Chain A
Amino acid sequence: MTMQGDFKLGDEAGRLSALHRYEILDTPPEEEFSDIIRLVQSIFDLPLVSINFIDTDRQWSKAAAGIPTEIPRAMSICDHTIRGRTALDLPDLTEHPTFAANPFVADGGVRCYLGVPLTSPDGYNIGALCVAGAEPREFSEAEADILRNFARLVMSQLELRQIARNDALTGALTRRAFRERLERSLNSDAEIGLVLIDIDHFKSINDRFGHPAGDVVLRCVAETLRTHSLPHECLGRIGGEEFGLLLPGRDASAVVARAEALRRQVVALEWPELNGIAVTISLGAAMRRGDETADQLMARADIALYAAKRSGRNRTVEAGTESEAPV
């Protein structure tokens, strides 16, 4: 039931955005979530347990016992759980007007279900933790409370996972997380652009103005790169003063145009911490070719970045151009 004034339960765009921030969908199994499944299963003594996330048109399970990793959203009972703030307790699904015809019930023999929402700290139900069984069962309020507490633990585990993936200073993905994201992107057939970005003369900035000023530069450049990127694009800090920007679904000319736009945005920043001197960036852009691996794509972007540095800095060079001349 929708609580009066709880607009977030009806804010599907906000909910999906909250879900996608965790970058959990389509990731490989992780032991900590499988551990939670095993514990819940042993406590409830039920065969079906799952940590489910509800995406636009599918339910995807991070960890599960007895439940497929992915099913259409229309078949998901947890999709109903996320529409409320409380536990969804269904002692006998065969007698329920909404769920009796669900294929898991009608064909799969599922009879009882208890699910609780997985709620993000900003109040969005991004998924559900559920248990289910093949016999009718009345769940007590105490059992619902146990499941709610496990759901909170799933969320704190997700929160920790998210922190591990983000660089504390700049908020960009860490090198490892960026690399994982790049590898996942390369599994699709979409065009993939990669831009490597390096802050020019960063060592001199640190030497002359001190590390606190250097940290301000790193933070502000990262913020500028992020602010002028689209939501599905992805920024990572892959070295001290080096960043990577992943641009899926863009052709070469759009990737290079974006790189140049970012360069101009950074040049336009003002730096009172640096007595007004300008900060510039050099960029190397590369498009994924055929079955190229992440290493190969990174290496070509890196060569282009090096060419940008060598030819005078504060410029973008596209990989694979004849002389790798500045754009």
Chain B
Amino acid sequence: MTDLIPVHELEERLAHVRRDLPLDLIPMVERHHQNLLGLVQALEAAGRPPETIRQTVQNLLQSYEKDLLSVFEAKSGDSK
């Protein structure tokens, strides 16, 4: 993969997020991470420009992290 493809960024981000995650969410987030890496590889294999790949992954990451935040909010605000 080229340097422009944010694989190491993904890994750093996962390591950072893992520290704050409840244990029961870790497998799901890791699966999502694997799926993102799979998409990066598939886009690269299809010859998509690195900047498109970077933008795609960043959009998906932002969207997922926003949802992850609402999981925390729902779990801390709804049932307790």
Contact = CB atoms under 8 A, between A and B. Distances in A.
Nearest to B34: A152
B25 A163 contact: yes
B4 interface: no
A62 interface: no
A5 to B, nearest CB: 25
A167 interface: yes
Contacts of B45: 142, 145
Interface of A: 31-32, 35-36, 39, 42-43, 140, 142-143, 145-146, 148-150, 152-153, 156-157, 159-161, 163-165, 167-170, 174-177, 237, 239-240
Contacts of A170: 79
B9 interface: no
Question: For this complex, into which size category does the number of interface residues on chain B fall?
Answer: 20 to 34
B35 A149 contact: yes
A39 B78 contact: no
A281 to B, nearest CB: 17
A214 B32 CA distance: 34
B75 A174 contact: yes
Interface string B25-69: 100100110011011001101111000100010011001101110
B8 interface: no
A35 B43 CA distance: 17
Nearest to B52: A43
6 contacts: A149-B35, A149-B39, A164-B67, A164-B71, A175-B78, A176-B74
Contacts of B70: 164
A150 B53 CA distance: 13
Contacts of A167: 75, 78-79
A165 B71 CA distance: 8
B25 to A, nearest CB: 7
B63 to A, nearest CB: 4
Question: Interface SS of chain A: helix, strand, loop or mixed?
Answer: helix
Nearest to B53: A43
A35 B32 contact: no
B20 interface: no
Contacts of B66: 32
B55 to A, nearest CB: 9
B26 to A, nearest CB: 12
Interface string B11-23: 0000000000010
Nearest to A161: B67
A143 B78 CA distance: 42
A239 B25 CA distance: 22
Contacts of B35: 149, 152-153, 156
Contact of A148 (B42, B60, B64): B42
Top 8 A-B pairs, shortest CB-CB distance:
A142-B46, A149-B39, A174-B78, A156-B32, A175-B78, A152-B35, A164-B71, A145-B42
B75 A149 contact: no
B39 A140 contact: no
B60 A36 contact: yes
B6 to A, nearest CB: 15
Nearest to A237: B79
Most buried by B among A142, A156, A168, A239: A156
A325 to B, nearest CB: 31
A148 to B, nearest CB: 7
B39 A157 contact: no
Contacts of B48: 43
Contacts of B56: 39, 43
B39 A168 contact: no
Contacts of A177: 74, 78
B63 A35 contact: yes
B24 interface: yes
A153 B79 contact: no
B64 A160 contact: yes
